[in-house]
Chain A
């Protein structure tokens, strides 16, 4: 069916005025803790930049833009202060949609509905790269680092999961198995207990890997080894970790829940100021 999206596209995202109001609502938190704020013109510029980025990346927004959340997330970075606050936020918003577009393309092509990197997880990765010594607040560096690490990691993860599905999955042979494939698929669905056990196991492995990366080299505090001076940056450590364990690209459910609570709290605070 040829479907012109145009007639509904204008409904999909929030109206620009509403988005602008949401962006300006972050001023209270920004001014209160960091002494910076956006003017109405700057907010309008950021909203326009976001909408243009969404259009350029071939995306459609259902609901509000990412900018208010992004502002709250990146305020503690220390790189937003100064007279380029608005420009940095606009650049970060464009960077988010660029990465989102690339990830969504992979997700659409895959046959794996559960392998989606959430907006919060993407913001977290962006923040980690943005504040790393390698990028030090440079948005372009951050984008190129994220594209170099996250996109191939997602590709590897999708390929690994596809391989696991085809290896352990449908070996339907007989007519009955094909005729009743949906019943067989339901029987193989994991129980709630199994799901909980897997989630717990995933959390433990994720935390162990993080701990190893952060504290694994503590011996260097006591034993000086010249080679330690040339140890890789955080981004490189992350890249190596994801090469070994691509499944660790997706954060755990408890981490997602923690972020969701944090975002909800921000939205409630900002709603009072709108």
Chain B
């Protein structure tokens, strides 16, 4: 459920922003007058009750006075809980209906369950992603371990769910960034890392290592200091090979690949390049893993656009690593 939740939210199909989703729904509801006043009042009371519970937990029951900043953090934490519940409905209309019709305490309980599930899934996904990516782990990927350790031991210890995040020192494929707040954002990031790890597992280790060394040599660095997503390097190399040759899970490109691609795609619009890339993905071993297939397909417009731009600028050589490149 949660992976679909994160991917669906990330696909950008919903008009309302995912960050502060509940506040956005309330704002729109008040503007359209679609949320009754009595319902708003009930919602306020429920938010207050939940925040008061957090205040009691925060001070270990020894004081009911907190600073204004901390009180805001409690309400934000409660709203994040509601965000998690309402985002799971999949559409703004369904979420608004749930906000109006469902019992608020039940919504909060559902949100809490979503959040706890996200937290546990996030931990599990990062651990699996780490094991899959370990043979190709750069310095930046290994740095994720420290913020992961902090995330698992100090998660939401002080109800500052806005501050629950990890340092995204390792970039994702196609420049993706998570828009979701708190633990939902962390879950989305680690889920993406797992999908990238599963993508890397579809190719031979030796070929990926060779690609990384070639790339590092071109940019005068060492292979473990590559600051890009390794899955990004691998997928762009494979897509170019698939456009030229076939859809086998191989990464070796002929020596004249850059010239041939430039000649072939100079006049081709990015949309057409994207169609060919999607076909290649659908016919390859990547399609056997639905999650990885969807993840790569979502990134196709980015790769098609970049390929088109580089071909137009006659600058493809820096983007891929043909055989025999010095």
User: In the complex, what residues of A have CB within 8 A of residue B69's CB?
Assistant: 58, 108
User: In the complex, what residues of A have CB within 8 A of residue B127's CB?
Assistant: 179
Complex-state Cα separation, A182 to B150, whole angstroms: 9
Complex-state Cα separation, A97 to B66, whole angstroms: 10
- Please tell me the number of chain A residues within 8 Å of chain B, measured between CB atoms: 42
User: In the complex, what residues of A have CB within 8 A of residue B75's CB?
Assistant: 3, 5, 8
A5 touches B56 (CB 8 A): no
Complex-state Cα separation, A33 to B201, whole angstroms: 80
A60 touches B66 (CB 8 A): yes
- Select which of A11, A64, A116 is within 8 A of B63 by beta carbon: A116
User: In the complex, what residues of B have CB within 8 A of residue A269's CB?
Assistant: none
Interface bits A107-118 vs B (CB < 8 Å: 1, else 0): 010010110111
Q: Which residues, 168 to 182 on A, are CB-close (under 8 Å) to B?
A: 170, 172, 175, 177-179, 181-182
User: In the complex, what residues of A have CB within 8 A of residue B126's CB?
Assistant: 179
- Select which of B51, B60, B142 is within 8 A of A62 by beta carbon: B51
* CB of B32 closer than 8 Å to a CB of A: no
User: In the complex, what residues of B have CB within 8 A of residue A58's CB?
Assistant: 67-69
19 residue pairs A–B, Cβ–Cβ below 8 Å = A1-B19, A1-B20, A5-B68, A5-B71, A5-B72, A7-B44, A12-B48, A58-B69, A60-B68, A62-B52, A104-B63, A111-B154, A113-B158, A116-B60, A120-B62, A178-B149, A179-B145, A181-B149, A182-B152
B63 touches A118 (CB 8 A): yes
Complex-state Cα separation, A160 to B122, whole angstroms: 34
Complex-state Cα separation, A269 to B158, whole angstroms: 35
Complex-state Cα separation, A113 to B154, whole angstroms: 11
Known pairs A8-B48, A179-B127, A182-B123; A108 contacts B63 (CB<8 A) = no
Q: Which residues, 25 to 78 on A, are CB-close (under 8 Å) to B?
A: 54, 58-64, 66
How many B residues are at the interface, by size bracket? 35 or more
* CB of B146 closer than 8 Å to a CB of A: yes
B64 touches A3 (CB 8 A): no
B20 touches A178 (CB 8 A): no
User: In the complex, what residues of A have CB within 8 A of residue B150's CB?
Assistant: 181
A172 touches B62 (CB 8 A): no
Q: For B19, B67, B152, which residue has the most chain A Cβ atoms within 10 angstroms?
A: B67
A59 touches B149 (CB 8 A): no
> Dominant SS at the B interface?
helix
Known pairs A1-B162, A185-B153; A179 contacts B65 (CB<8 A) = no
Q: Which residue of A lies closest to B154 (CB)?
A: A111
B interface list, Cβ under 8 A from A: 19-20, 23, 44-45, 47-48, 51-52, 55-56, 58-60, 62-72, 75-76, 79, 123, 126-127, 130, 142, 145-146, 148-150, 152-154, 157-158, 162, 181
* CB of A100 closer than 8 Å to a CB of B: yes
* CB of A124 closer than 8 Å to a CB of B: no
- Select which of A11, A101, A105, A118 is within 8 A of B44 by beta carbon: A11
* CB of A119 closer than 8 Å to a CB of B: yes
Complex-state Cα separation, A120 to B130, whole angstroms: 49
Chain A nearest Cβ from B278, distance in angstroms: 35
Complex-state Cα separation, A105 to B66, whole angstroms: 9
A118 touches B65 (CB 8 A): no
User: In the complex, what residues of B have CB within 8 A of residue A170's CB?
Assistant: 149, 153
A11 touches B68 (CB 8 A): no
Known pairs A182-B123, A182-B152; A62 contacts B66 (CB<8 A) = yes
Chain B nearest Cβ from A184, distance in angstroms: 8
B157 touches A113 (CB 8 A): yes
User: In the complex, what residues of A have CB within 8 A of residue B56's CB?
Assistant: 62
Chain B nearest Cβ from A93, distance in angstroms: 12
User: In the complex, what residues of B have CB within 8 A of residue A178's CB?
Assistant: 145-146, 148-149
User: In the complex, what residues of A have CB within 8 A of residue B23's CB?
Assistant: 1, 3
Interface bits A3-17 vs B (CB < 8 Å: 1, else 0): 101011101100000
* CB of A256 closer than 8 Å to a CB of B: yes
Known pairs A3-B72, A8-B75, A181-B153; A59 contacts B44 (CB<8 A) = no
User: In the complex, what residues of B have CB within 8 A of residue A12's CB?
Assistant: 48, 51-52, 71
B59 touches A116 (CB 8 A): yes
B51 touches A113 (CB 8 A): no
Complex-state Cα separation, A77 to B206, whole angstroms: 82
Known pairs A11-B45, A12-B48, A179-B130; A172 contacts B67 (CB<8 A) = no
Known pairs A5-B71, A8-B48; A104 contacts B66 (CB<8 A) = yes
User: In the complex, what residues of B have CB within 8 A of residue A177's CB?
Assistant: 149
